[in-house]
């Protein structure tokens, strides 16, 4: 396929350290095992002869047992949601804010669309996607996505909430090669799902990842915004 010509990739996995847990106590329950990130680098040339090179960070919710699932990523007044970067997220003009706007039919022509920045639950593109997005602020998505009264969610009957290999993708965040990456990212998310026995689990104030000084500055900025709202 055209999208594979000249395409290079390298991948690694990182556990998102709980730096935020030293700052803010968070609530979690059985079914939820934590957050993790997969980082990779991709480059290629599309059918128009345009070259591109991207560093991609995929954020996952890790689940404890088979049958556990994720249903919602949300922000509330008490626990606002933010995922941001001190650099700049890559935004593809043919992509969109969520997996609902990632059209796999375009991958053969504009192969970089596959690596756009977007939020999701479980899906990598719009094929079979049952995602619902409500009251999430994407107006500054070049640097962050936020909400204090919104969510991206699937219903408990939607298979994509089960994920694959014990984890569920909640967002893909891309950067022009060498300009950002996981070390530039900061954020806090709230999560809800269900365990294999049907009981509901919830995890609030889950921080990611803050391994670098710039990310710590981002967290400080988030804390400041929260204080000003209260």
Q: Give the pLDDT of residue 4.
A: 32
31-63 pLDDT, tens digit each = 999 999 999 999 999 888 889 999 999 999 999
3 state SS of 188: strand
d(CA 133, CA 75): 12
Across the range 80-96, mean pLDDT stands at 97
Residue bearing tokens 């991958």: 107
Are residues 19 and 186 in contact, defined by beta-carbon separation less than 8 angstroms?
A: no
Q: Give the pLDDT of residue 208.
A: 85
């Amino acid at each position: 396929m055209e999208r594979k010509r000249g395409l290079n990739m390298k991948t690694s996995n990182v556990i998102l350290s709980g730096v935020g847990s030293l700052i803010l106590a968070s609530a979690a329950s059985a079914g939820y095992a934590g957050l993790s990130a997969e980082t990779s680098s991709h480059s290629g040339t599309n059918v128009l002869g345009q070259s591109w090179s991207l560093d991609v960070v995929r954020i996952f919710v890790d689940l404890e047992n088979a049958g556990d699932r994720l249903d919602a990523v949300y922000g509330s007044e008490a626990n606002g949601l933010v995922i941001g970067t001190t650099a700049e997220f890559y935004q593809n003009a043919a992509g969109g804010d969520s997996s609902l706007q990632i059209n796999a039919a375009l991958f053969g022509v504009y192969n970089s669309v596959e690596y756009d920045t977007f939020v999701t639950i479980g899906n990598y593109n719009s094929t079979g996607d049952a995602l619902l997005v409500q009251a999430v602020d994407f107006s500054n998505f070049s640097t962050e996505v936020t909400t204090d009264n919104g969510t991206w969610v699937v219903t408990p009957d939607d298979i994509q909430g089960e994920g694959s290999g014990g984890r569920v993708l909640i967002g893909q965040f891309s950067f022009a090669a060498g300009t950002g990456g996981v070390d530039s990212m900061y954020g806090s998310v709230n999560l809800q799902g269900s365990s294999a026995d049907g009981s509901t689990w919830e995890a609030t104030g889950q921080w990611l990842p803050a391994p670098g000084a710039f990310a710590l500055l981002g967290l400080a900025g988030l804390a400041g915004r929260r204080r000003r709202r209260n």
